[in-house]
Structure 1
Amino acid sequence: MQAFTEGRGESVMAKPILQMLPLIALSVSLSAGAATPDADQARRIAEQFLATKQATASPQEAYEAGDVAVADLDGDGQAEVVVLWTMLGPTYWHHGVTALSRKGQHYAPAGEAAEPLGSVEGMVVRNGVIELKTKWPGPNDARCCPTVPKTLRYRWSAGKVTLAK
């Protein structure tokens, strides 16, 4: 097996990627007492979350982070990290939005929108609501080029990201 060096300078033996996924996903930690990650920490948390998705994806697919926001989605005093991401395939793509919540000193996936999101142009998170600006195909639109604007609103609760009513 091949050895590699972790961030602390320790040499460890390489492990199968599936055993390491929890470590990869949760490796960005906050200093003791830090309540809210700053923008750079949130971006690193998002990138590491997407690295776990990439590890199980087809070699032809790639995951990219779009907008990343930090907000207390459920009013419990703890900030969540919200990630708007895109999965790109050779001839297809789709967007997703995932809420990551703090588990001890780390962040872990705590809910993801299950519905199709259309072509997402941006995300804003305020007052516990995740708002996505999207475009959907009109009657005469080519598949590549939707033109009908639509705003989708989501809430995170009980480990789910669901459409807000």
Structure 2
Amino acid sequence: MDIMILRLSVLLASACIAGASAPVALAASPDAGQARRIAEQYVAGKQSAGGNPQETYEAGDVVITDLDNDGQDEIVVLWTLYGPTYWHHGVAVLAQQGTRYVPAGETHEPLGSVEAMTVRDRVVELKTKWPGPNDPHCCPTIEKTLRYRWTAGKLTPVK
């Protein structure tokens, strides 16, 4: 029994020494479940900072992708603010800073009614609907696709 403990100790020491000279790897990208939890924490922070008890926030689509081709994935979150008689969509980018993901930028323009979000070729694409001339507020019918590129810490519209 003592010999097995000694061998295990030698094996662990060898692994530690070998690991000490190996290059340090960056943290792995979050899986879908982790990214969802990170997005929900971000939205919960918006909720607590909002100050209006009649408003709630909800995380919608969450995409893990490398938006700026730097080798580190960002988390793109489609979120919704619900008020008593209104709603508002937004898109936020959460970037890795050390071992955490932190807000790095978000849209600040009207997005209409966002039905889906995808990311292709580092461009965030939103499928939206906007009100037509005779549409009631609840039911927009004009389809638009909005595209944003992540540059210098902000989402910039792509024409």
Q: What TM-score bracket applies, with the shorter chain setting the length?
A: 0.7 to 0.9
Pairwise CA distance, 1:154: 0.4
- Is the helix fraction higher in 1 or 2? 2
Following superposition, the deviation at residue 56 of structure 1 comes to 1.3
Q: 2:11 — aligned with what?
A: none
Q: Which amino acid aligns with 2:66?
A: D
Percent of pairs with identical residues: 69
> Please, what TM-score do these two structures have when normalized by structure 2?
0.82
Mapped partners of 2:150, 2:104: distance in 1: 9
1:100 paired residue number? 94
Shift of residue 73 of structure 1?
0.3
Shift of 1:123: 0.3
- What is the alpha-carbon distance in structure 1 between the residues aligned to residue 54 and residue 100 of structure 2? 30
Deviations 1:21-71 (A, max 9, x none): xxxxxxxxxxx8433111001000000001110001211100001100000
- Asked if residue 48 in structure 1 is aligned to residue 48 in structure 2, the reply is no
The answer (yes or no) to whether the contact 2:61–2:79 under 8 Å persists in 1 is: yes
Aligned residue pair count: 134
Aligned to 2:120: 126
Q: Contact conserved, 1:71 with 1:126, CA < 8 A, in 2?
A: no
Tell me which residue corresponds to 1:160: 154
Counterpart CA distance in 2 for 1:65 and 1:49 is 9
Q: Which has the larger radius of gyration?
A: 2
Give 2:10's aligned residue: none
Please say if 1:140 is aligned against 2:124: no
Residue 23 (structure 1) aligns with: none
Q: TM-score, normalised by structure 1?
A: 0.79
1:25 corresponding residue in structure 2: none
Of residues 63, 81, 88 in structure 2, which corresponds to 1:69?
Answer: 63
Instruction: String of CA shifts for 1:111-161, please: whole Å, max 9, x gaps.
Output: 101110000001001210000000001111111110000000001111111
The answer to whether the aligner puts 1:85 opposite 2:85 as a matched pair is: no
